[in-house]
Amino acid sequence: MSISKQDVISTYLPELPPFGIDAEAFAPSNIALCKYWGKRDVELNLPINASLSVSLGDLGSHTSISVSEKGIDQVYLNGELLQAESSFSKKVIAFLDLFRRGLDQPVIVKTNNNIPTAAGLASSASGFAALMLAINDFYRLGLTTERLSAFARMGSGSASRSVYQGFVEWHKGVREDGMDSCAERLDMSWPGFRIGLLKVATGEKKVDSRSGMQRTIESADLYQSWPQQAAKDLVTIKRAIADRDLALLGQTAEQNALSMHATMIASWPPLLYWQAESVAAMHRVWELRNAGIPVYLTMDAGPNLKLIFQQEHEQEIRDGFPELLDLDIVSPFG
């Protein structure tokens, strides 16, 4: 039996009863170079493997929490007041309740995502990280960044990495309560490093990461090799970052992502997040690479691609994709 989120959180919160003071926070989105895929504990979002990401600078979520005079909780997303029954609103309030601990103080939570619409990125990582940071200020919890990361993880696994900028490693941890399963900022930077957000298809994804990973674990024999591969890739990626070796980093990240997708495809019912346009864009990346341009791809639980390259090839990569494709280039190190 897994320990509940509330049990873990209550153990680490200050004794003082909570009382809110208006607060706001920002957290960046992140792209995993070594993916998180599979939970050993679904309640606490404890991962089977460690992962490594790069945060997207000023692209992410701004979240504010204020005391509501209206007597009810209200949640706004990108300026729009949501219905209390909407799944986003319910998730936000359920997470906040873990810290409110029964206090009768309704709140207004406002989240704005500034990730370009072209990115087609899920915002749960930056959203839960920003919410956690805002909760820490709102209830004056004074938590360390490690604890903030571990708690944000309970909202969404990848949110554990979004409490930091730069290259970030999320340790899988071994504790049953998961408090050692938190992220750490790696002391490495790479000013010329670029991430391209390439939107190739629109539309809501049909299977979210949470149920996708569960399905993979339960039905894909191929998943058995994933934890070893991820562990090996993480070591290689760290070395590649330290050496600023784009070819090694790109190859390892691309293989890591495609291996994760292979486990999804081997699930039942099959889980294929790619659309025809995704495959066409993958071929385009490989053509550019064959033409001598060092560009690599990674993909998450959706149809869009993220490109990995260096500043000096920015123009060739922009030129390499037809005008119809939407490409946003991010400089994670300013």
Applying CB under 6 A, which of residues 8, 9, 32, 281 lies at the interface with ligand DP6?
32
Applying CB under 6 A, which of residues 28, 157, 166, 196 lies at the interface with ligand DP6?
157
> Shortest gap between Cβ of 122 and ligand DP6 (angstroms)?
6
Amino acid at 312: E
Half-sphere exposure for 233 (CA within 13 Å, toward CB): 28
Should residue 150 be labelled a site residue for ligand DP6 when binding is judged by CB under 6 A?
A: no
Should residue 124 be labelled a site residue for ligand DP6 when binding is judged by CB under 6 A?
A: yes
Cβ closer to ligand DP6: 236 or 288? Answer: 236
174-to-47, 50, 96, 128 alpha-carbon distances in Å: 10, 11, 26, 23
> Shortest gap between Cβ of 16 and ligand DP6 (angstroms)?
30
* Tally: H helices and E strands in the chain: 9, 13
Q: How many chain residues touch ligand DP6 (CB under 6 A)?
A: 13
Applying CB under 6 A, which of residues 45, 136, 252, 298 lies at the interface with ligand DP6?
45
Q: Is 217 helix (H, G, I), strand (E, B) or coil?
A: helix
Interface of this chain with ligand DP6, residues 298 to 317, rule: CB under 6 A: 300-301
Residue showing the smallest CB distance to ligand DP6 in the complex = 157
> Shortest gap between Cβ of 227 and ligand DP6 (angstroms)?
14
CB 34 within 8 A of CB 255: no
Should residue 210 be labelled a site residue for ligand DP6 when binding is judged by CB under 6 A?
A: yes
Angle at 264 between CA 2 and CA 121, to 5 degrees: 85
Return the DSSP state at 83. Answer: P
Should residue 158 be labelled a site residue for ligand DP6 when binding is judged by CB under 6 A?
A: yes
Amino acid at 32: A
Should residue 165 be labelled a site residue for ligand DP6 when binding is judged by CB under 6 A?
A: no
Angle at 162 between CA 166 and CA 243, to 5 degrees: 25
Applying CB under 6 A, which of residues 55, 123, 209, 304 lies at the interface with ligand DP6?
209
Rounded CA gap, 69 and 249, in Å?
A: 51
Bridge-based pairing state of the strands 46-47 and 39-41: antiparallel
Should residue 36 be labelled a site residue for ligand DP6 when binding is judged by CB under 6 A?
A: yes
The residues of the shown chain that bind ligand DP6, judged by CB under 6 A, are 32, 35-36, 45, 51, 124, 156-158, 209-210, 300-301
